[in-house]
Amino acid sequence: MTNLIEKTLLIGFGIFTLTIFSSILIPFFGRLTEFNYIEKNNLESYMNVFEEINQGIDYVVQNTDEMYLKKIQYPDNLNITFYNQIIKYDFIIEEKIYNKILEYNETFVNCKFHQILPKEYLLNISRWSILIKVNIINLY
């Protein structure tokens, strides 16, 4: 009889311990999933800006007399620097600073866009004689 009671108490204590342990860990799994979702969205928003700028530069190179205008959603923690024939992107993912450097055959007007608030802007890319001018204009 005591053997049966001991087994019942051990099973009950195991279930109790498992319940406590899982109730502690479940909220952390939710936060981890939310964190991964936010970081994935940040990376996609960075990539969208990179692609828009690249498309605009290609358009201006092919059509020298026209300018490229497009609304873009500027992400948080993105710094862009244009100098000579190089574009340097600095951005933060998972508390690490990353750099992406692109080199072109065309020369840019030297400018930088640092510490810009994340919201919607107008991307304006045009050609000034032999230089390409990139400007990010505040809409509101």
Confidence of residue 14 (pLDDT cuts 50, 70, 90): confident
pLDDT at 53 over 80: yes
Whether 75 contacts 45, CB under 8 Å: yes
Please state the domain extents for the chain.
2-138
pLDDT at 120 over 80: yes
CA terminus-to-terminus distance, the chain: 80
Whether 25 contacts 92, CB under 8 Å: no
Confidence of residue 76 (pLDDT cuts 50, 70, 90): confident
E strand or H helix at 127:
strand 120-128
Residue 101: the pLDDT is 92
The closest alpha carbon to 80, from 61, 102, 95, belongs to 102
In three-state secondary structure terms, 90 is strand
Share the mean pLDDT of the chain.
Answer: 85
Residue 44: the pLDDT is 83
pLDDT higher for 70 or 21? 70
Q: What is the mean pLDDT of residues 120-129?
A: 90
Alpha-carbon distance 47 to 50, whole Å? Answer: 5
Residue 15: the pLDDT is 86
Confidence of residue 38 (pLDDT cuts 50, 70, 90): low
Residue 69: the pLDDT is 92
